[in-house]
A and B are shown apart, each in its own frame.
Chain A
Amino acid sequence: MLHTLIDTLAADQATDVDAHCDVPCAIYDPAHLLIASLTVVRMIDIMEELEGHKPDNPLVYHNTMARAVAMKEKHAEIVKHEVRIIWGDYLKAPQFEAYPNAHELVHNIMLTGSKAKQGVSRDDAVALHELCNEFAEMFWATKGVETKRAAAPYKPGLETVYPAL
């Protein structure tokens, strides 16, 4: 009622102030980081498979192993990068108030992501993926989007969070 009164009697006295929405895209999606965390696990699986079935040609072995290590390194860094973007650019005070463990979750992803980069523990890589799942669930919850967990339709086939659209 008061708003209507002001709108009727004093709107011409009001100065318009913009609450800008000029971010070029505002497209945020945890899909990238989940694919990357799955890739980290997959690269460790490939390394273990390769070690268990060494090819006759040592060059093939070293080449494949080097590529798997490089991809593991790269995708663990993609996880950290993507999480940092959503945490730093997308999440704001209202979301942090609604999800007070967000900072701790992000920090855990950073630590576990580094572990996955440094080592070859599949458990660490799986733990990283699960943290990413939790992050994805939190992200979609801030948008009011329901999620579901399903096995990824490719190796390593781990349970992964998807928006239930």
Chain B
Amino acid sequence: MFKLFRVRGRSMLPTLGDGDFVIGRRIGPHAVRRLDTRAIVCAQHPHFGPIIKRIAGVDGDSVRLDSDGVTGSESSSLGDVPIDCITHRARLVIRARGGLRRV
């Protein structure tokens, strides 16, 4: 149910930094539809592969993802992904520079 992820890249700064560990909880499409639109999720993107992003919106069976950081892909670049691409919701961040944070 829970899975350990390691963040690569800086597009989710200041929330997530390069090298941070994230503990994610497995979620299915029904749970994704009920998520807060600001939830951070891990997804298997059709083009980019495994990514971690923030949900910008859910519209039926597609989810729009976005970055927190100013150097990240804007949602228009990431595009909408099918809802079943969302695999886990980030719940806990173990920061590379120290500290724990719930998300």
A residues sitting closer than 8 Å to B (CB atoms) are 1-3, 6-7, 10-11, 13-23, 26, 88-95, 142-143
Contact = CB atoms under 8 A, between A and B. Distances in A.
Contacts, number: 107
Given A3-B21, A89-B74, A10 B4 contact: yes
B22 A20 contact: no
A124 to B, nearest CB: 31
Contact of B3 (A3, A15, A19, A92): A15
A30 to B, nearest CB: 14
Contacts of B95: 3
A104 B7 CA distance: 35
A157 B102 CA distance: 51
Minimum-distance CB pairs A-B, first 6: A19-B9, A17-B52, A14-B6, A19-B12, A19-B11, A14-B4
A1 B94 CA distance: 10
Nearest to B17: A19
For chain B, give the interface size range: 35 or more
A13 B96 CA distance: 17
Nearest to B48: A20
Nearest to B53: A19
B48 A18 contact: yes
Contact of B8 (A6, A17, A93): A17
B82 interface: no
A17 B5 contact: yes
A18 B8 contact: yes
Nearest to B65: A20
Given A6-B21, A15-B3, A22-B77, 6 more contacts: A16-B6, A17-B51, A19-B18, A21-B9, A26-B70, A92-B67
